[in-house]
Chain A
Amino acid sequence: MNKYYGYQGVILRVNLTERTIKKENLDLDEALKFIGGRGLGTKILMDEIDPNIDPLSIDNKLIFITGPLSGTNTPTGGRYMVVTKSPLTGTVACSNSGGYWGAELKFAGYDGIIIEGKAEKPVYLNIVDDVVEFKDATTIWGKLVGETTTILEEVHGKKSRVATIGPAGEKLSKMSSIMNERGRAAGRSGVGAVMGSKNLKAIVVRGTKKVNISDSEKLKEVFSRCITKIRENGVTGQGLPTYGSAILVNIINENGVMPTNNFQQSYFDKAEEISGETLSEKYLVKKEPCFRCPIACGRYCKVDDIEGSGPEYETVWGFGSDCGISDLGAIIKANYWCNEYGIDTISVSSTIAAAMELYQKGYIKKEDLDGSPELTWGNSEAIIEWTKKIGECTGLGAKMAEGSYRLCESYGVPELSMSVKKQELPAYDPRGIQGIGINYATSNRGGCHVRGYMISPEILGLPQSLDRFSIEGKAEWTKIFQDFTAGIDSVGLCLFTSFALGADDYADLYNAVSGINISGNDFIEAGERIWNLERLFNLKAGIDPSQDTLPKRLLEDPIAEGPSKGCVNKLSETLPEYYKVRGWSEEGLPTEERLEVLGIKEYM
């Protein structure tokens, strides 16, 4: 039997229809080709499902997968991914979460879990090292995330880690998430609904094993070097620990690119009231790190009788300026309810913003609101109450739970949904930041910023400063960020480390842990392989390149006022260049030549 380093060498296959549990050997050659996490999960999905299936049907599979560095002594080595076909976008979904659950799964002895089929009645899984059991979940079905977690911790012990859906996932909301440790989220793309469609409420894990390290001495040395870089970097060593990600509010707003009132404006004159500085002053209780994390960007905040993890920048933006809200306390409450119901803060807030524009323009009428708070810009009660209604999937809330695209489409105005491939855009106006626009349009899971965080060079000046108004070189940069990110998402570390670390650092960590010998360039090439595999899945699923676009507003309506006044996103010029640097055809299709070089021609 091969000894594994980094990887545990075991994938759990759980069939909910037949109530069977199998332990399968991890194919190391496959693992090394796709690294793990996002890459390996996508490969398994590609091999095992027909990309054309209905995501909420019994044929979809739900894959929880860690990276080789998850659960090891590497900075932030604890992340896991949830890979499946998304009910929101119809693309491959890979939703990333931190906290401690992913590391615990490795300690139990598993690299990942493949969930197939559908349980007859609600169940949850309990995993304690080699023992994996089905448990009845009928008494916890319907409960909020916090209460569910408390109950399961009482039954199985506080050392167990719980990943669970809330009522929204049970009701198949396309914006539902999978939550771990109450406040960490595999948030985007409706992965919670896939779990709910299988009648799976939660997975509880407790592990006492170790992860084998190939070269402990080398790892200590590389770890030390990386920690120093992280501590000395301004973002990871100072900004994020002190203020959390919400520090971005003032930065983005001062550049005049903070979407306001559903992207109708791009500057919010009350930004200071919802800023990271104000959050620290008024509501912060403590900061929260994930497993082995030296950054500790997590926030734990309190307002009135509500307290919990978050809010992050995207949440503050979405429930803040995007809805015209200047009441940070209300934003914190809306975030809390998102965590409790198990729904994605970006999609929910953006959908409420779309609903506010529909109300502003008379498509949604007062009588449609069933007495709930009016969907008017700046109405604090509205963001709290409508979040709950979406979480409960009641009345108009049920319609909203389908996401902003389907909501707006039902009124005949899909162009009012600020989304790409039906997934809501995050907190940066691409009219004033050309590169992030390319990423939004081409991300394999729809509207997303983390897939290729061009904000880093274009706004923060890291690793170097790029002119956000210029299109020069942006296609090339976007590709590099996208490939690099795919590698990080696959190896098990947190994306925030990339403010401080480079490709060679990730390669060195991966080498020391798993006993292989790759370079920084190999690492990025693996990322490119993974990116192309995702693209192929999407093409087979019927997501054609015409969907590599942005909402009409962002292509045609110039920003009305502020520092970025007069700008639109020039995607028509950057997209052809992007296809070229990717080595794809003019139509945006991966070519046989490129796939051959990447070693995935068989997936064409």
Chain B
Amino acid sequence: MEAFELLFQGFQVLFTVKTLALMMVGLVLGIFVGVLPGLGGPNGVAILLPLTFTMDPTSAIVMLSCIYWGALFGGAITSILFNIPGEAWSVATTFDGYPMAQQGRAAEALTAAFTSSFIGSFVAVMLITFLAPRIADFALRFGPPEFFAVYLLTFCSFVGLGREERHKIVISMALGLLLTGIGMDTVSGQLRMTFGSTDLLRGVNFLVAVIGLFGISEILLTMEERLALQSHVAKISPRVVWQTWKTLPRYWVTLLRSAAIGCWLGITPGGAIAASFMGYNLAKRFARDKESFGKGRIDGVLAPETAAHAAGTSALLPMLALGIPGSGTAAILLGGLMVWGLNPGPLLFIEQKSFVWGLIASMYLGNIVGLVLVLSTVPLFAAVLRVPFAAIAPMIIVSCAIGAYAIQNAMFDIWLMLLFGVVGYVFKKRGYPLAPLTLALVLGSRTEDAFRLSMIGAGGDLRVFWSNWLVGTITTLALVMLFWPLIEKVVGGAGRMWRMRPAKA
């Protein structure tokens, strides 16, 4: 198997003292941001990104992805011990995790959560190992029209499948796409939407927007809600871990089902949030006594955690193979790759072999080390939450400012971050989704370039998007996705009429 060989080489890249040390640092920082209220995966990665600017790409991405794993693990701690989901995808974990903690079974719940996260990610990483090279291989045949069609599909499925009000999704996406247009136009060299400002000439950097939209706005929201923390004591002993592990094989169906749901929703832009709820609901539906869910059942913790982490991890698959992030955090990691001049997409697997396989190997290793680390240090991280918010809030603000400034060494960016913070606060409160905006910020200029390159290639003929079966299928699928709510209504209506007829007769 070629994949095994390459993976083995990846591990060789990884096993240096420096990389392993960075990995540990990344994991600890990640758990830390995952535990802190008002931070989490995407914010943590965005804020800590500047730390990696001076490293070589492999060390940098290893550290970043470890921050991501850490944050994923950390989210479970607050959900179970404090009933505060550190992330939207840990909401479902609180349903049964917190009752377990109330019953004094916190250690059991935490062990279950960490272990199932580990299993979920592990399945997804295996999927990446074997599927990503194939997809990348396949995508090598892609030209600009195909890429544009794939981007279009991503955007359209956000609009068609989103749960928020449609016009708000469109607003958020259009805003993101417009922001990427600011500055120098890459095709014609003309200046767009700069209004004579030299600061706008650089364009709006994606990370500055993300730090403001997620980091600063989250601080404002946390402050507004005034968190009341009630912690349950947790100390994980090896005996509890062992006893919990012994019960896990009993739940293999739940674990497998959740992992499958997670992988599927992670690759399509359904995301980890949908995955965690779906995993939980399906576990409930298939359970023999449904009443005991929500009162502290261990599979109520296992199901959402496995699904969320499988989704969070498999979101990296389209990012690596196609250059399309499957989640907000994946989008930020992609932004990081571009900072180092790496162009995510199918060519990455050929041009940067050692980098890609180093990253994939680090996913395996990061997960294992993360599991051990988090099991042994829970009390320490739970103590972090007892630090008063008045001390944490200004420190997070400073970290955000450092992150925003470091990207382009511009004071203007710190102001911009503040502006985005206020925008993010209002948007979050009024249900304007931020994920389409983030996605648009990352993919905006690539989408436009792909479109214009295909136009130049085809002499301005729009039919190029239906010129062969591949691009035609993707484009058509994109349009179906866009009008999905409409189609569903029509099909549903027709179905109802069809069913009504025999009743009348």
The answer to whether A and B belong to the same complex is no
